[in-house]
Amino acid sequence: MRLNWGIIIVILYTGFILLVLIMVMFSFTQKVDLVTDNYYEKELKYQEQIDKIKRTDQLSDKLDFQINSRIAYIKFPNKPDPENPNNLIHFYRPSNSNYDRIVKISTDSTNLQKIELNKEKFSKGFWRVMINWISGGIAYYTEKEFFLN
């Protein structure tokens, strides 16, 4: 059987419409995570964040962040205020916000904090750690990136 041009054009248009519909359905099923739920509110307050980053960069001693055998070692350049609820370490997973973890800062006498990155809570892949601490009434902030195997 020989197809004429009219039937070929109808088949091509129908195939194109089906392809577009499939792509639209696929795009609606994809999860889209913002960095935070209150993204726009935090954007307006970002100047405070910039000031914290500048103060952190001006410290003579820098914050030291290292990972060894799935244990994160964070050495603070100054003693974080022990009872401040804003002293937080946020482990952020860009690919899936369900893996995000927030840990309160509690250092030892040498300003060192150890955090176990166990496999149940911290999966393999790219992570960003955002450290927000207050020392002597002055707020500081820094970010580090790492990859877990």
Residues 80 and 143 both lie in one domain? yes
The CA distance from 55 to 50, in Å, is: 9
Residue 5: φ, ψ to 5°: -60, -35
- What tens digit of pLDDT does each residue of 77-116 get? 988 888 888 899 999 988 888 888 999 998 888 989 999 9
Residues 84 and 142 both lie in one domain? yes
- Give rounded-to-5 percent helix, strand, coil for the chain: 30, 30, 40
Predicted local distance difference test score (pLDDT) of residue 128: 93
Residues 89 and 138 both lie in one domain? yes
Of 36-45, 47-56, 88-97, 118-127, the one with minimum mean pLDDT is 36-45
Residues 53 and 108 both lie in one domain? yes
Report the domain count for the chain.
2
| Structural tokens at position 138 | 């002055």
Domain containing 7 equals: 1-30
Check whether 1 has a pLDDT greater than 70: no
pTM exceeding 0.75: no
Residues 4 and 68 both lie in one domain? no
User: Where residue 141 sits, what CATH number does that domain have?
Assistant: 2.60.40
| End-to-end alpha carbon distance in the chain | 59
Residues 22 and 93 both lie in one domain? no
Q: Is 125 left (phi over 0), alpha (psi -120 to 50) or beta?
A: left
